[in-house]
């Protein structure tokens, strides 16, 4: 399917057409702020529930479904078939790799705000589990799609020692002023939101971690971010396939102006 056309979530016809970054359905007339990209894959052991979550119903036109047999192919397919303003629904956090790489080809410089209870900064050599879903932010930085100094890691509270060492050495921003520092000199941003960043019980997630923010907290953060920078796109990952998640995700997307 062309990234300019999509399936309307209301009338279910392929008449939602991209008008710049927005979509308009030529059949029912509804307008949308982003094109939905589903990525029903989780690159690690036991991630089937995460992959299943990519089928959750969100009120956005479905621009594409990326279901490749390798992470490399997934990344290439996602980067090449990306709406102008994507809303990515994973799957695991590896879904963000193709999205950021695709957006990086269209912009000289972008920031990434990565909300996650984990760092996702391991490599195959440092990962305790070997699961690739613990590596995507490091993939993006090492691959040059985003500079470490343009990354804000928000909500991380379960980091492996090599990840802590990388943050200290690389310039990745973490802590209360992370977003402010990552946005210095950058006016466009991609938001990667692994829902395990939330305190357990706020959403149904694959890998809950205690001590996180509430839905209200993150909604305020995203609304503030949208008032300060151009939101190029966003992605939601790390979900359990609970239909009750859908309206909460739509609320967060709306806070970003999508």
**Alpha helical stretches, state H, 71-154:** 71-80, 95-104, 136-143
Domain layout of the chain by residue ranges? 5-255
Residue 122: is the preceding peptide bond cis (ω within 30°)? Answer: no
Q: What confidence score (pLDDT) does residue 18 get?
A: 79
**3-state DSSP helix/strand/coil percent for the chain, to nearest 5?**
35, 20, 45
Residues 6+ apart with CB under 8 A from 55: 38, 40, 241
Residues 6+ apart with CB under 8 A from 154: 113, 114, 115, 116, 174, 178, 179, 197, 221
Mean per-residue pLDDT pooled into runs of 10, the chain (258 residues): 72 78 86 94 97 97 95 97 95 98 96 98 96 98 98 97 97 94 95 98 96 98 97 98 98 97
Q: What confidence score (pLDDT) does residue 34 get?
A: 94
**Phi and psi angles of residue 216, each rounded to the nearest 5 degrees, phi first:** -60, -40
Q: Which 3 state secondary structure label does DSSP give 193?
A: strand
CB 136 within 8 A of CB 97: yes
Q: What confidence score (pLDDT) does residue 201 get?
A: 93
Q: Look up the pTM and report it.
A: 0.95
Question: Using CA atoms in the order 151, 249, 158, 189, what is the torsion angle rounded to 10 degrees?
Answer: 0
Q: What confidence score (pLDDT) does residue 23 get?
A: 87
Q: Which 3 state secondary structure label does DSSP give 7?
A: strand
CATH 3.40.800.10 for domain 5-255, yes or no, is: yes
| Integer Cα distance of 43 and 148 in angstroms | 23
pLDDT 10s digits, 105-164: 999 999 999 999 999 999 999 999 999 999 999 999 999 999 999 999 999 999 999 999
Residues 6+ apart with CB under 8 A from 236: 87, 88, 89, 90, 193, 195, 249, 252, 253
CA atoms within a 13 Å half-sphere pointing along the CA-CB vector of 18: 19
């Amino acid at each position: 399917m062309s990234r300019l056309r999509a399936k309307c979530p209301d009338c279910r016809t392929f008449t939602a057409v991209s008008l710049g970054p927005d979509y308009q359905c030529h059949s029912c007339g509804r307008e949308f702020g982003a094109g939905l990209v589903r990525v029903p894959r989780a690159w690690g052991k036991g991630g089937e529930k995460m992959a299943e979550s990519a089928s959750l119903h969100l009120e956005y036109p479905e621009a594409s479904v990326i279901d490749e047999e390798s992470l490399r192919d997934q990344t290439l397919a996602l980067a090449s078939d990306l709406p102008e303003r994507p809303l990515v629904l994973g799957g695991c956090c590896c879904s963000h790799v193709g999205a950021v790489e695709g957006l990086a080809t269209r912009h000289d410089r972008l920031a990434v705000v990565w909300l996650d209870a984990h760092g996702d900064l391991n490599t195959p050599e440092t990962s305790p589990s070997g699961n690739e879903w613990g590596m995507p932010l490091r993939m993006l930085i090492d691959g040059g799609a985003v500079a470490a100094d343009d990354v804000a890691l928000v909500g991380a509270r379960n980091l492996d020692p090599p990840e802590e060492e990388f943050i200290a050495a690389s310039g990745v921003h973490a802590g209360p002023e992370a977003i402010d520092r990552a946005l210095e000199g950058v006016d466009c941003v991609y938001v990667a939101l692994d829902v395990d960043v939330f305190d357990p019980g706020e959403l149904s997630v694959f890998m809950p971690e205690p001590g996180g923010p509430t839905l209200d907290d993150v909604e305020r953060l995203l609304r503030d971010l949208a008032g300060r920078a151009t939101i190029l796109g966003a992605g939601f990952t790390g979900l359990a396939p609970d239909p009750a998640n859908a309206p909460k995700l739509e609320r967060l997307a709306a806070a970003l102006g999508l």
